[in-house]
Amino acid sequence: MQTETRTDRNVYSSPEPMDFTEILEDILRCLKRYWIQLLLVLVAAAAVTVAYLNASYKPVYSAKVTYAVNKTGMTENDAALAKRLSSSVAKIYGTYEFQDELFDSIQEKSLDPGKCWISTQYTEGANLFTVTVSSNEFRNVDPVLEAFQQVYPRWADKSNGSVELETVDRVQASQIPDNPYSMIDCAVKGLLVGLVLVAALTFLYAQTLHTVRKEKDMKKVTSKGCIALIPDTKMKKRTNENKSHLLISNKRIDWSFKQSMLSAQSRLDQIMSRQEQKVLLVTSTLPQEGKSLMSVNLALAAVQNGKKTVIIDGDLRNPSVGRVFGFEGKTLGLSDFFDRKADPDEIITRSGELAVIGGGTRTGGVSGIISDEMMEDLMGYLRRVYDFIVIDTPPSGLFSDAAILEKYADTCLYVVRQDMATLHEIQEGIAPFIIENKLAGYLINRSSASISSYGKYGKYGYSKYGHYGKYKRYIKTTETSMNTEDTL
């Protein structure tokens, strides 16, 4: 409906207060999901920092002299004078006149006082101050300090009258730098820089993440309810057994997954029964969201609930329903029906009590062969024979096929895989079904929330995908890898 679409867009764009708990969860999710990349960033940042510190390291050597000021004989006055002299040393040292006189006092003319710098420290409340001469070259320090001791007293007299400066202490430069190079310190600093960078990247990830992580995220897209949260689960291992399919008819599937799928089918049945509906269209935004497996499991759940059920593979671009049962491309299917090579009853393949209409024997360039008249006839036939009809379609976020097939369905279930498609992509993909008021609700697949009380689960039993044109396939299984013993 148009009103809901406009309202949802406003909700989607409205700002929300920052939820630090969610940000922390997103940061932890980022660390879990991209830990290898972040580890590489950490190592690279640490290596660059260590290399920079190593290249920019310059040793610093220092020598210092401590003066006691005696002029008035009164401690407070002499202390104030010492403070004033301490603050003026650096200014005097920076003048050209002082530098020239200092240079003339140095016996070794190859030394350069300009490569040294001066710092002072005043002893609070006392008539003492310390002058420190520092340089990156060890040989400069002691000669410059010695020349300074010869020249400075005269300059102090010029600016403050007759001042008696008594040398209390003198410390010559050590061949060990004041800032000795430490590889450990550099490594620690590099590690800290890397950690700060990783923290900044994870926080940025959390701030810019606009995927669905929880049920409430979908409230920004549609006011329809969540049909079910399908947990991230795994197959139960069997000795010397590598075959696996995430089907509720498989005895090795985790109980929580089966319960979630049965719950989803039961809720859909309640929604559809109230409206006397039979045909459910299942789609998603992107490939790899588990749309086809959700379609198959909903059909299997309906069979377990005693419904006479048929599932149609409407994804003629990349038929995968028949592939799950091991007969894709080997039996007559939907493409053969549209090519007028088979009647409706001839394209139905039985797998236990479930009827399956696969993609058919024709492959490639079949997405435009759907005939409106023939599809109406097929759906009329199936409505008369079956209690529950599931149509699996291509991702609506990429292709218009789902929107085209929507007119043959009574309602639609939208599959959303947690933390995959962005809210904007979902909003665009789900819009046709909201506008036509055919959205029953959505299902969050591979969810890590709410269902955790059912048990622990690991990775999905999904096999890896091949290519879907330029996109990836949803499922890649072959007949030899089918678990025919426990499936259907």
Comparing 3-7, 263-267, 310-314, the range with the smallest average pLDDT is: 3-7
d(CA 423, CA 435): 17
- Percent of the chain exceeding pLDDT 70 equals 84
Q: What is the pLDDT of residues 276-297, one digit of tens each?
A: 999 999 999 999 999 999 999 9
Residue 241 confidence (pLDDT) above 50: no
Comparing 79-93, 102-116, 299-313, 331-345, the range with the smallest average pLDDT is: 102-116
Residue 251 has a pLDDT of 82
476 torsion bin: left (phi>0), alpha (psi -120 to 50), beta (else): beta
Give the residue with greater pLDDT, 210 vs 421: 421
Mean pLDDT, residues 178-195: 94
Length of the chain measured in residues? 488
Taking the CA atoms of 11, 12, 16 and 20 in sequence, report the sign of the dihedral they define: positive
pTM for the full predicted model = 0.63
DSSP 249-316: TSTTB-HHHHHHHHHHHHHHHHHHHHTT--EEEEEESSTTSSHHHHHHHHHHHHHHTT--EEEEE--T
DSSP 433-444: HHHTT-EEEEEE
8 Å CB contact between 226 and 215 = yes
d(CA 26, CA 30): 6
Residue 457 has a pLDDT of 34
Residue 61 has a pLDDT of 95
Mean pLDDT, residues 7-12: 42
d(CA 88, CA 107): 26
Q: What is the mean pLDDT of the chain?
A: 83
Q: What is the pLDDT of residues 405-438, one digit of tens each?
A: 999 999 999 999 988 899 999 999 999 999 999 9
Spell out the domains of the chain, with CATH numbers in brackets: 61-171 (3.30.70.1130), 212-481 (3.40.50.300)
Residue 449 has a pLDDT of 63
Residue 4 has a pLDDT of 46
- Please measure the distance between the N-terminal and C-terminal CA atoms of the chain and give it in whole angstroms: 39
Dig out the tokens for 71 from the structure. 């002029």
Residue 468 confidence (pLDDT) above 80: no
Residue 483 has a pLDDT of 37
DSSP 140-198: HHHHHHHHHHHHHHHHHHHHHSS-EEEEEEEEPPPSS-SS---HHHHHHHHHHHHHHHH
Q: Which of 462, 423, 429, 427 is nearest to 446 (CA)?
A: 462
d(CA 308, CA 195): 58
Comparing 19-33, 36-50, 52-66, 179-193, the range with the smallest average pLDDT is: 19-33
Could you give the C-alpha distances from 285 to 168, 190, 393, 449, in angstroms and in order? 82, 42, 11, 21
8 Å CB contact between 410 and 280 = yes
Q: What is the pLDDT of residues 349-363, one digit of tens each?
A: 999 999 999 988 876
Mean pLDDT, residues 194-200: 94
d(CA 366, CA 468): 14
Mean pLDDT, residues 196-207: 88
Q: In a 3-state reduction of DSSP, which class is residue 127?
A: coil
Q: Which of 240, 266, 244, 239 is nearest to 254 (CA)?
A: 244
Backbone angles phi, psi at 80, to 5 degrees: -65, -40
8 Å CB contact between 338 and 369 = yes
The amino acid occupying position 199 is A
- Percent of the chain exceeding pLDDT 90 equals 53
Considering 6-20, 145-159, 469-483, the range whose residues carry the highest mean pLDDT is: 145-159
